[in-house]
Amino acid sequence: MAANRGIDPFLPHDGEVLTIPHQFILPNARHEGIVVNLAELRLYYFDPDGERVHVFPVGIGKIGRETPEMKTTISQMIEGPTWTPPKSIRMAYEEDGIELPETVPAGPDNPLGEYAMRLRYGSGQYLIHGTNKDFGIGLRVSSGCIRMEPTDIEWLFEQVSRGTKVQIVNQPIKVAVEPDSSVYVESHEPLTGRDGYKQSLEWPLELQIWVDQYQFASTRVDSVIKVQSGLPTLIADGAHLNTLQQ
């Protein structure tokens, strides 16, 4: 959505031109298993052979019920999950005049969808799961779980197993240095915290070191970070940098 500011994500008007990103900078995390970057609302799955990475949009925890950062594994694979909403969630729904049952059986009315993967974290309350709704992906709407499109979770469910590594990070700024020394930066809007304020944007260490070495690019970097388009942007051409080093 950051690449299409001003356009209604649910009802775009006829004739509006959309920017659909097809390139991403990978998060600064170990490239294995599942990596979720909360700041960009994306899940990355790395093939075991290391040859390919698959990228999916996700929904994450809303303000007040944030999805925590973690390094963990999948503890349980569940096909046809039932949903037992905790007391806190049932009370929150009651405030809106909605009474939830103690248990929702598997089926079309289950908000977890058809597949769920429990994470080995806390009391096991966090899942990567599907949905029975037609909205919520790419948004902060869940009670802390990671929500995927039904077809995406179905595919991912077949690729992973109990013990698959999962990393959940929060990296609004990502950096990539190409083999020719070209530098790209991808900046996303930071998440809003419980206090209603945006989390501060701290430059990644590798970016700060690079800017300190090539002072001419600091203004360019600052501009890209402030725009927060979510698109990889060339900061410095490798050929030019190589010339400076000679």
Active site residue ranges:
129, 145
Give 100-108 contacts, CB < 8 A, sequence gap 24+: 106/80, 106/81, 106/82, 108/132
Chain length of the chain:
246
The alpha carbon of 177 is separated from its chain's Cα centroid by a whole number of angstroms, namely 22
| CA dihedral of 220, 221, 225, 226, whole degrees rounded to 10 | -40
- Cα(242)–Cα(246) distance, integer angstroms: 7
**Do residues 137 and 150 touch, judged by C-beta distance below 8 A?**
no
Tokens of 175: 């950096």
Specify the residue for token string 């040859």. Answer: 51
Tokens of 246: 């000679």
* Contacts for 112 with CB less than 8 Å, ≥ 6 apart: 81, 83, 127, 129, 130, 131, 132
* Contacts for 199 with CB less than 8 Å, ≥ 6 apart: 170, 172, 190, 191, 192, 193
